Amino acid sequence: MSRIEYNNMLFVIGRHLDQLSVHEQLMFMCREKLTRGVQDINNSRSLFEELGHLNFLKIDQLGDLKELLKEVGEWSLLKKVTNFEVKRKKYSNLLEKVIRVFDCGESNELEHLLRICKTKTSFDFETKIRDVRSLFKELESQNFLEFYRLDILIEILRETGKPDLLTEIEEFEKRINEEEELKRKKAPTSGIFASGRNLGGRVIG
């Protein structure tokens, strides 16, 4: 899942926890992890921000968040986090597979990848890149590569002649799109269309 979805998930969870008035309990459970004064952390979202700053909570590191939700008995939220984690892991595992393939390639493979990335993004990666793994990390940090942004990865695999990996990525992207379409169809209609009326108050259809 993407970083936008991750941030939104934390926002929604934080808002819900604040409504439950469990802030004192959360703070007590996290007391050994926190370094700044508790007066600076006045709600769940600021707690999550601090845990993230201290590297206890990240998009690929959700163990503490799941434990907190378990301890306050928020099982539905725990399930959402677990589902997010499962989907994110599929993306991470697939990306790791691509990295390993290129790491085992020829020594000039990295130069080829850098040329492709520079052409496709107009961004100069060369000053920060030491190997294939750091290239992909930089692609992610610059928002060229993400859960829903696989175009650059597809182009890399296409231009380097990796048909098997290309097929895997394209099938992964197809599944994502199908899942999102299914989710969209299941979502309740909002706005003026939910009431079946237009702005003039007349029933539509």
pTM of the model: 0.80
CA distances from 39 to 76, 82, 139 (A): 29, 31, 37
Query: To the nearest 10°, the Cα dihedral for 135, 52, 15, 81?
Result: 60
Asked if 169 and 148 touch (Cβ cutoff 8 Å), the reply is: no
Question: Burial code of 33-64, b = ≥16 C-beta within 10 A, e = fewer?
Answer: ebeeeeeebeebbebbebbbeeebbebeebeb
Rounded CA-CA distance 62/85 in Å is 8
**Do residues 121 and 155 make contact, with C-beta atoms less than 8 angstroms apart?**
no
Domain with CATH 1.10.533.10 in the chain: 3-81, 105-185
Non-local (6+) Cβ contacts of 109 within 8 A are 102, 132, 160
Q: List the pLDDT tens digit at each of the 205 positions of the chain.
A: 789 999 999 999 999 999 999 999 999 999 999 876 666 799 999 999 999 999 999 999 999 999 999 999 999 999 999 999 999 999 999 999 999 999 876 667 888 898 899 888 888 776 678 889 999 999 998 889 998 999 999 999 999 999 999 999 999 999 999 988 988 888 776 554 344 444 444 444 4
Candidate CATH numbers 3.40.50.2300, 1.10.533.10, 1.10.240.10, 3.30.420.10; the one for domain 3-81: 1.10.533.10
Residue range 105-185 in CATH 1.10.533.10: yes
CB-side neighbour CA atoms (13 Å) of 80? 14
